[in-house]
Structure 1
Amino acid sequence: MSEIHGIGGPLPAIPDDMSVAQFMLDYHHPFRPVLAQPSPWLIEDSSGRKVWKEEIYSRTDALANSLSARWKIGENDVVSIFSPNSVDYPVIIWAVHRLGAIVSPLNPTQTAEELKHQLKSTSPKLLLAHSSNYATALAAAQIVGIAPDRVVLVDTASGLKDPAVRHATLSELIDEGVKQPKSFVERKLNPGEAKSKLAFLSFSSGTTGLPKAIRISHYALIANMIQVATFLKTDKKPLSEASLRPGTVILAVLPFYHAYGLAFVMHFTLFHGATLVVIPKFNFTDMLKSIERYRINYLPLVPPVAVLFCKHPDVKKYDLSSVRAVVCGAAPLSGELMTQLATLFPEAWIGQGFGSSQVISPFTAYQADDRIGMTETFTMIAMASPNCKVADPSSAGVLISGLVARVVRADGSLAPPGEPGEFVISTPSLALGYLDEKATKETFRDGWLYTGDEVIINEKAELFVVDRIKELLKVRAFQVAPAELEGFLLQHPDVADTCVVSLLDDFNGDLPLAYVVPSAAAQARMETDPAEGDRIKAALIKYVADGKTSYKQLTGGVEFTDVIPKLPSGKLLRRSLRDRARQMAKQGLLTSVPKAKL
């Protein structure tokens, strides 16, 4: 086998002379469905307010006008969004793109210390935050030198504890932009320029520590939308009967700062003629109410939410008969869960995709550890075939149209069908690399992405993930770098050495567990007082909880060890400790009981 091509034949023309905003608002691609009846683009979950294309268009241009007039936002300036989902999230993105500037979407649950790193990496000219995390945004902005008047609220000031704080709000900026003369000339791209012009700086956890900024071009996102549209045209049913068709009402609870929510949920489904019900904060019971209230048809999920559908008692209280499709990505979905979902939604199409998926492989005796996240391919590279009602749970899907893959053996040769090797990808949606040049050279080589995933691909272009060559964990579908937690733990005076591994959990995916070699002082205290060991473990768990965001906690606990096994080069033998921890968990021998809950 030399190369494997995704199904669906050659791609149609991909525009390379327009921004994402122009593609979404001003241009009609031949693969974009024409709606028989107009439908709103967005619905605000809390109020039921419907937002139509005309309103989005006018708010986008008004905001671009205000950003240009007030702060001179323009060519290659970075604007960071530190907010949960909002109906104005796409307005912010497309307004920034109108000006030739770059969007950096950020996780709104981060601590000020975590946010500081990302702001330092991208040097934004403006930071848009929500009232719920405005204090965090101000603290991080002060550290990196962003003036307080460049921190803007995306909602009203009602959530602020200090009413005396002076700030601009998004609504004020839009009103201002409507009233004043036009102050900007929209950035037009030359032929081919969309391939190099940055649209996003999105963050993905690095295996060696802190998250890395990934450089995403306008062309990459536009290409992926067209790739997915081409793939869906392989459906044997007419478009009017497809699970994802014009007028479909989509659940938009997945965070828009994440590649899955940003590229697929927000951009592709709107391109495909859907309506998004935008939910800013996840609450399972409230989400069930929204599905019933808005007759939602299509559920893009991550497996922790799928687990709740299968186990939460409130599911039976609501009418979910409108659901005709459930698609999972970003983390593992077992065959058992697929079966339970098919029982819960007997009329629905059930599948999963590899944009950042994780699966149970039939070729191995352990759970696969796929961790690339695929922000680097922005975002989908494999999807369940639209022609099967319930997808094969052992497969991460079929390679989508326009993608070329190689399976590379350890010796650099190409593996034949059915034989494992590293997953290497070429796709028109490929990112331009990281801001970090060294990291770029390690992962992006001659137009190919070396994912670090060990996979098997068969003759039908079906993808099976076998193992994760790199070391990222996935906690509730979020990437966690063990090295980041290890570096943080090593700053604690009671820690001489450490290695973070994972236990497995149906809901959370990975539960980070830290093996710790106590410092000499800690060891001496434990020898004097046997109860001191438990106090140290509790203190380390709290230390991480106080310093890291919610999904980067030591939910697997802390275990003491005499030594962290390493190669002569110093590389941690993480897998040996991982296997030891999972075996001990099965035998009930762990001294720290995992604290994960549904």
Structure 2
Amino acid sequence: MQFRSKKSLDSTAIPDDLTIAQFILDTPARPDPNRPVRGPDAQTWLIQDGTGRCIGVDELMRRTYGLANAMNLKYGISDEDVVLLFSKNHVDFPVVIWAAHRLGAVVSPANPSFTASELRYQLERTNATLMFVYPDVDTVAVALEAAKQMNIPAERIVLLDAKTLGSAVTHVDFARVEDLVQAGLKAHRSFTEYRIARGGAKDKAALLCFSSGTTGRPKAVAISHYAFIANLMQFVVHNEVNESYYNGSKVIVPWDSEKRRFRVGDVCLGVLPSYHIYGLLMNLHFNLYAGLSVVVVPTFKYMDMLASIERYRVTHLMLVPPQTVLLCKHPATAAYRTALDRIRFLLMGAAPVSREITDQLVKVLPNAQIGQGYGMTETCTGVCMFPVSQKTGTSGSAGQLMPGCIARVAKPDGTLASANEPGELFVSTPGMAIGYYGDEEATRETFLDGWVRTGDEVVINENTEVWVIDRLKEIMKVNGFQVAPAELEGCILDHPFVADCCVVGVPDAYSGEIPLAFVVLAESACSNHNADVAQDIMQHVAKNKVAYKHLKGGVEFVDSIPKNPSGKLLRRVLREKARSLKAAKM
């Protein structure tokens, strides 16, 4: 059977001829008719954590225009060019995206913790010709090395602001966003804003966000302007942002009802990384559209997060499970009781959250609506989320299907499951991505005649609530980030002492999963010093991969890696072995 959301989505309300920048910055109608959009009474959109600097839409529009003009004048950026954004959260992060979209360019956000080889891979896959980079020494040094490997001139690296850099990178006279904005504002207008023909937004790529898909190395997910806006509107309808309600029942008034989940003047902590689709769409764009101010936090540090919640009187949190575990277990939490009592909403996504943690969160945040959501980059974020009728989401559930989403659950024999029967989740949604950029084979494997094959085993009940049981695909979820075992295996096999290997995820209370490597030693390795060899392998991965890909689950030596007759790794066998090993150590 097929499962459909209990709420309908008016497809005519989703513009198919606007870019993301035009929809967010230029669309006059906002959810709250009493919300001033322009002028001195317009609310703050962004708050810079640390300085408290407040930025409204008028300033954001001015900076977006100035940067777009300068990007076109100085670098010739125009339709179909790809701009890579290698940065932590920053108040100019959205400005770079919107400026590129004004020109018709595509933006590819990159993890600022990447090594040079990982960043080079993204540059290769996207054919990016201009990089915007967060201005700290390590990030800039990685960008320089990756650019050098790709023959991209250092002059095409732009820093997001003018922080002082170390001697290792001061030999380059970097352009700065602020200088470009001012130059663009002073210069004559050099570009005609990119316009999309009616219906064209469904095929016009806006973002190239990286995901591991169901298997293999990370792939560039091509997300259209329409898909991004559609998923944003799915969240709007699901959360009744543009409606008045009281405990889920519609009323005629008031717009300022205390029971509304999102209200103008609310403040959300923008601690999720904006290079990740969850942070980019939900934590940033959705909150701005819904009328909230967003505190832009460059780097997550728990103690700093608590201080920011108190300083800015934060009311809304969007987090990943490891951050919620800290809320429950960190001893410093108790000192911020008054500030945490102001929290009215907590959404958890990117990985399942246990009933035990949810129960603890209810005690830590007694006044908050608390629940989970589920989605993936290939669906441009949300597929399901806990409804407004629930103060606390159903235990273990990822929420109800979003408006406009259709789901079906396929059993191993290919037949469709009924309600409460497990199987693999397939989703059809207006937020579906175009496909994997430059990878037709991978696109055919995941995007099937209007459906996204998620690779997740789920159960859906009659109320369209979704429970994620297990991942049928091989991808691990570490701290909410996708990690492809094959990518780590390739790195480990590059070590001289490794003959064969297989990486699996093992459950972890803090990170959700952590990578563990089963390794077959080469004959050249000294088996009498396995502990030293294991440490060396772990250090090898640490030198070449971003932190969340490190082998925090350790290294286990085996005589052989189990495989089927065709040579495919029997990863499930080793996953069970890993769980047994963990249980034996407890």
Partner of 2:312: 294
For 1:89-143, what per-residue CA distance to the aligned partner results, in whole angstroms no more than 9, with x for missing partners? 1111100000000010000000001101000001112001112211100100110
Partner of 2:89: 85
For 1:234-292, what per-residue CA distance to the aligned partner results, in whole angstroms no more than 9, with x for missing partners? 84366533122222100101000000000111111111111000000111101101100
1:280 maps to a residue whose letter is P
For 1:2-57, what per-residue CA distance to the aligned partner results, in whole angstroms no more than 9, with x for missing partners? x2111212325211011110000111346466426631000001110000000000
User: 2:4, 2:30 → 1: CA distance?
Assistant: 23
Tell me, which stretches of 5 or more residues in structure 1 are unaligned? Answer: 356-373, 590-598
Q: Is residue 586 of structure 2 the alignment partner of residue 584 of structure 1?
A: no
What pairs with 1:208-247 in structure 2 (closer than 5 Å)?
Answer: 208-233=215-240, 235-236=248-249, 240=256, 241=258, 242-247=260-265
Q: Is residue 470 of structure 2 the alignment partner of residue 467 of structure 1?
A: yes
The secondary structure found in structure 2 opposite 1:163 is coil
Equivalent pairs, count: 564
Contact 1:382 1:400 in 2 (8 A): yes
Contact 2:421 2:460 in 1 (8 A): yes
1:343 maps to a residue whose letter is K
Q: Is residue 289 of structure 2 the alignment partner of residue 268 of structure 1?
A: no
User: 1:80, 1:502 → 2: CA distance?
Assistant: 30
The secondary structure found in structure 1 opposite 2:562 is coil
Q: CA RMSD in A?
A: 1.4
Contact 2:341 2:366 in 1 (8 A): no
1:513 pairs, out of 512, 516, 529, with 516
For 1:305-346, what per-residue CA distance to the aligned partner results, in whole angstroms no more than 9, with x for missing partners? 001001111112223222111110011211111011100111
The secondary structure found in structure 2 opposite 1:451 is strand
Partner of 2:323: 305
Q: Is the alpha carbon distance of 1:386 and 1:535 closer, same or farther for their aligned partners in structure 2, counting shifts above 3 Å?
A: same
2:373 pairs, out of 333, 353, 364, with 353
Contact 2:321 2:510 in 1 (8 A): yes
Partner of 2:349: 329
User: 1:68, 1:584 → 2: CA distance?
Assistant: 57
The secondary structure found in structure 2 opposite 1:431 is coil
User: 1:195, 1:534 → 2: CA distance?
Assistant: 54
The secondary structure found in structure 2 opposite 1:514 is strand
CA deviation after TM superposition for structure 1 residue 164, in Å: 3.1
Q: Is the alpha carbon distance of 1:207 and 1:419 closer, same or farther for their aligned partners in structure 2, counting shifts above 3 Å?
A: closer
Q: Is residue 461 of structure 2 the alignment partner of residue 458 of structure 1?
A: yes
Q: Is residue 359 of structure 2 the alignment partner of residue 339 of structure 1?
A: yes
Contact 1:382 1:463 in 2 (8 A): yes
Q: Is the alpha carbon distance of 1:430 and 1:272 closer, same or farther for their aligned partners in structure 2, counting shifts above 3 Å?
A: same
Under a length normalisation based on structure 2, what TM-score does the superposition of the two structures give? 0.94
What pairs with 1:75-474 in structure 2 (closer than 5 Å)?
Answer: 75-132=79-136, 133-161=139-167, 162-233=169-240, 235-236=248-249, 240=256, 241=258, 242-318=260-336, 319-355=339-375, 374-435=376-437, 436-474=439-477
User: 1:21, 1:7 → 2: CA distance?
Assistant: 30
For 1:410-467, what per-residue CA distance to the aligned partner results, in whole angstroms no more than 9, with x for missing partners? 2222111111111111111100000211000000011111111111111111111122
Q: Is residue 43 of structure 2 the alignment partner of residue 39 of structure 1?
A: yes
CA deviation after TM superposition for structure 1 residue 207, in Å: 4.5
Tell me, which stretches of 5 or more residues in structure 2 are unaligned? Answer: none
The secondary structure found in structure 1 opposite 2:206 is strand
Contact 1:78 1:102 in 2 (8 A): yes
Partner of 1:365: none
The share of aligned pairs that are identical, in percent, is 48
CA deviation after TM superposition for structure 1 residue 555, in Å: 0.3
Contact 1:399 1:461 in 2 (8 A): yes
User: 1:41, 1:187 → 2: CA distance?
Assistant: 25
2:124 maps to a residue whose letter is K
1:557 pairs, out of 554, 558, 562, with 554
Under a length normalisation based on structure 1, what TM-score does the superposition of the two structures give? 0.92
Contact 1:455 1:466 in 2 (8 A): yes
The secondary structure found in structure 2 opposite 1:243 is coil
Contact 1:84 1:281 in 2 (8 A): yes
